[in-house]
Structure 1
Amino acid sequence: MRPIRFLPLLAMLWLAACSSAAPEQARSIPAVSLATITLAPQTLPLTRSWDGRIEAIDRATLAAQTSGRVAELPFDVGDVVEEGTVVVRFTAVEQQSGQRQAQAALAAARAAANDAAAHFRRIEDVHARGLVARADHDRAKAAHEAAQAQLAAARAGLKAADEQVGYTAIRAPYRGVVTARHVEAGETVSPGQALISGLSLDRLRLVVDLPQRVAATLDPQRPTYILSDDGRRIPASRVTLFPQADAASHTVSVRLDLPENETGLLPGMSAKALFAQQESAVLTVPATALAQRGEVESVYVLAPDGLIALRQVRSGRRLDDSVEILAGLVAGETIAVDAAAALQARRMQREKMAER
């Protein structure tokens, strides 16, 4: 922002080449104090905006991985769930029964494997002394290997049974909000059936569909912002340009990741993506210098003779605490910083001029 200077609106003398009546007219303009700035072009990046939609990066619908009856459904739509919390629990009678059977089968297989191993060691010792036939040694070895295979199968069966018991408690994969319940307590479900849906508000992104000619000129390394409805400019933490275009609409999708903090945005909301493309010289004025009357925008301009005049302008982009001016002003002109103060000064100036 250009430095603000306070100029007394004193009667200003024209150059010596001006007519002799000019100084008299200048002296007739009353002096007023007002904060002003002199306009100068600023080089700013040219941005273009496109409408998009906010969506959650982490969203999921949890499905059943085993059959059973819903025994517990502690959360409803809108509830916040911490990571690892049980969101659906089934009755586990059949699964626990299968787990006990698998444990018993493992114990039997372990005993059989120990017995076969001990028998094989005895046969192998006797065979080494030449007191047993080769066929008996081979049968003992085969029985030992078969017992070891059965033991491995029993261990795998117990692991599968443990997983089936674990499937009766559905846990949240991340911290999020419940968005839908697809079952109710008491219902019987089967594997693959949807149970509950949720999403995380900690990681959001804006998805924009750009025309392919625009996407071809997009540079993801340039500053990119998400513009909310209330005018906030949120810098994107990451920009992802899809490597293909939609065959029907001829558009290319772009994802803008929002920073992981409270932005006030929710999935499903609309927002704009601001893409910086190239730099251009523009005139800007402080937002406080703009006087709004209906749909007409104006600023207070100080003439070389100190007279305060109201001039209509056409504004463009809002840039933090300043506004781009597209038409109505030129570089080198002096304007008032505060439109409200300039209005009072202009009235005071007119009253003093009327008294004279």
Structure 2
Amino acid sequence: MTSPRALRPPFAKIPRRISRKLSTQTLRISLGLGVTFLSACKDGSETAAAAPKPPAQVVVYKVETRPFADTTTAVGTLRSNESVEISAAVTEQVEALHFEDGQTVKKGDLLATLTSHEEIAQMANAKAILAEEERELKRLSGLSETGSVAKVTVAERTTRGVLAKAGIDRIQAMLDDRNVRAPFDGVVGLRRISVGATVSPGTVITTLDQLDRMKLDFTVPEVFISQLGKGSAISVRAAAYPDRTFEATVENVDSRVDPVTRSITVRSIIDNKSHELLPGMLMSVNLQRNQREAITVPERALVPLGKSQAVFRLKEDSSVERIGVQIGARVPGFVEITEGLKVGDQVISDGVGGLSNGAAVKVSESFSGPAEMFNPSADAEAR
């Protein structure tokens, strides 16, 4: 069995006096190294602090005025000037269709014929009855002049003739119900049924739209009422034609303002003789008021400070100062400045990140314009 003495570490045999001496020397060496390290760090930091910081590279914008206006964008759904779903007035079988999809028709043109064999037979019978009544009335009228027939008999026969004519008119109305005609000039849509189908009131045969003039109803804030009188010209856009503008004329303004939204509905008319616009299209209207010349800066020059805004203005000594500004309306890429700047001031438009009051800067270039808006369709075409 190994004794406890044999398990002691080797340095345990060093005399206590020599051990204390070694510990004191080790402590002195450690303190010396620490002081040397701290001195080296201090010298390095003083050297770094002494090195001048290079001025930040920035882009500047010379403040100028631009035309501004209070704008609003309204949207509405396009509707044809006249629109109807063509349907039958009676329940009957379709005998013939007289139009093609998308055909232009005139008022009164025959669109569909329904089966009318029974009504045609009734019409022949009614005409025969009327002819008989007219012949009998003529004969009795001659006898009445000689006194051979009482006048009351002639009057009765006259009444029967009137009733026979009314019967013909009634059957003619039934025949007319079986001839479906266009109620106005327009363009028919797609055919919804086939020959031989049984239709009833409410069954859509096709649609008919008057496309030469289109209606666009949209709502705007009540502050724009004074600019939208009857006959006012406005410009509208369609999502289907993003690069085009269509001219419209205000036809009427609603007689009431919505008390909840404080908006009013405006009806405008668009000339559409080319039939490019179709019912159901989404249209947008841009309206402007209070047009003015205003001081502007690029939107990216603004530095948010809580609920307020500021910009960095370039000073003559190539340093910057941060000044608070009041902003107004915006247009793509620019913002109106109502207070804080004057025409001719130079503000930092690019490179504001990391700037502080009094920082030195170096102007690399002048502001050339805002970045173009992202167009996903153009990006897809490029790929």
Measured against the shorter chain, the TM-score band is 0.5 to 0.7
CA contact (8 A) 1:226 1:274 kept: yes
Tell me, which stretches of 5 or more residues in structure 2 are unaligned? 1-63, 297-328, 346-364, 369-383
Relative to 1, partners in 2 of residues 1:330 and 1:144: Cα closer, same or farther, differing over 3 Å?
farther
Name the structure 1 match of 2:228. 219
Name the structure 1 match of 2:188. 177
Name the structure 2 match of 1:160. 170
For 1:120 and 1:45, locate their aligned partners in 2 and report how far apart those are by CA, in whole Å: 90
CA contact (8 A) 1:215 1:252 kept: no
Q: Say which of 270, 273, 289 aligns to 1:261.
A: 273
Partner secondary structure for residue 94 of structure 1 = helix
For 2:156 and 2:336, locate their aligned partners in 1 and report how far apart those are by CA, in whole Å: 91
| Letter aligned with residue 205 of structure 1 | K
Q: Deviations over 1:89-109 (max 9, x none)?
A: 212211211211221121122
Partner secondary structure for residue 236 of structure 1 = strand
Asked if residue 98 in structure 1 is aligned to residue 129 in structure 2, the reply is no
Map 1:129-278 to 2 at 5 A. Answer: 140-173=150-183, 174-179=185-190, 181=192, 183-191=193-201, 193-211=203-221, 213-214=222-223, 217=226, 219-221=228-230, 222-229=232-239, 230-244=242-256, 252-262=264-274, 264-278=276-290
For 2:165 and 2:78, locate their aligned partners in 1 and report how far apart those are by CA, in whole Å: 48
Relative to 1, partners in 2 of residues 1:264 and 1:190: Cα closer, same or farther, differing over 3 Å?
closer
Paired residues, what number? 245
CA contact (8 A) 1:46 1:280 kept: no
For 1:192 and 1:69, locate their aligned partners in 2 and report how far apart those are by CA, in whole Å: 14
CA contact (8 A) 2:65 2:293 kept: no
For 1:216 and 1:315, locate their aligned partners in 2 and report how far apart those are by CA, in whole Å: 22
Tell me, which stretches of 5 or more residues in structure 1 are unaligned? 1-38, 127-135, 285-313, 318-323, 334-342, 347-356
Partner secondary structure for residue 202 of structure 1 = strand
Relative to 1, partners in 2 of residues 1:330 and 1:190: Cα closer, same or farther, differing over 3 Å?
same
Q: Deviations over 1:111-154 (max 9, x none)?
A: 2322332233222xx9xxxxxxxxx8xxx233222322222222
CA offset at residue 189 of structure 1? 3.1
Map 1:304-323 to 2 at 5 A. Answer: 316=331
CA contact (8 A) 2:212 2:275 kept: no
CA contact (8 A) 1:41 1:283 kept: yes
Give the TM-score normalised by the residue count of structure 2.
0.53
CA offset at residue 269 of structure 1? 1.3
Q: Deviations over 1:270-327 (max 9, x none)?
A: 111234544434699xxxxxxxxxxxxxxxxxxxxxxxxxxxxx9738xxxxxx9655
Give the TM-score normalised by the residue count of structure 1.
0.56
CA offset at residue 50 of structure 1? 0.5
CA offset at residue 257 of structure 1? 0.9
Relative to 1, partners in 2 of residues 1:247 and 1:316: Cα closer, same or farther, differing over 3 Å?
closer
For 2:132 and 2:103, locate their aligned partners in 1 and report how far apart those are by CA, in whole Å: 46
Structure number with bigger Rg: 2
CA contact (8 A) 1:63 1:195 kept: yes
| Letter aligned with residue 237 of structure 1 | T
Name the structure 2 match of 1:311. none
CA contact (8 A) 1:70 1:186 kept: yes
Relative to 1, partners in 2 of residues 1:59 and 1:88: Cα closer, same or farther, differing over 3 Å?
same
Q: Deviations over 1:172-198 (max 9, x none)?
A: 2322131462x4321233456443323
For 2:336 and 2:162, locate their aligned partners in 1 and report how far apart those are by CA, in whole Å: 82
CA contact (8 A) 2:69 2:289 kept: yes
Q: Say which of 61, 71, 76 aligns to 2:95.
A: 71
For 2:247 and 2:218, locate their aligned partners in 1 and report how far apart those are by CA, in whole Å: 15
Partner secondary structure for residue 255 of structure 2 = coil
Please report the RMSD computed on the Cα atoms of aligned residues, expressed in angstroms: 3.9
CA contact (8 A) 1:62 1:197 kept: yes
CA offset at residue 226 of structure 1? 1.6
Relative to 1, partners in 2 of residues 1:332 and 1:107: Cα closer, same or farther, differing over 3 Å?
farther
CA contact (8 A) 1:40 1:332 kept: no
CA offset at residue 331 of structure 1? 7.0
Q: Once the two structures are aligned, what percentage of the paired residues are identical?
A: 20
For 1:111 and 1:247, locate their aligned partners in 2 and report how far apart those are by CA, in whole Å: 72
Name the structure 2 match of 1:80. 103
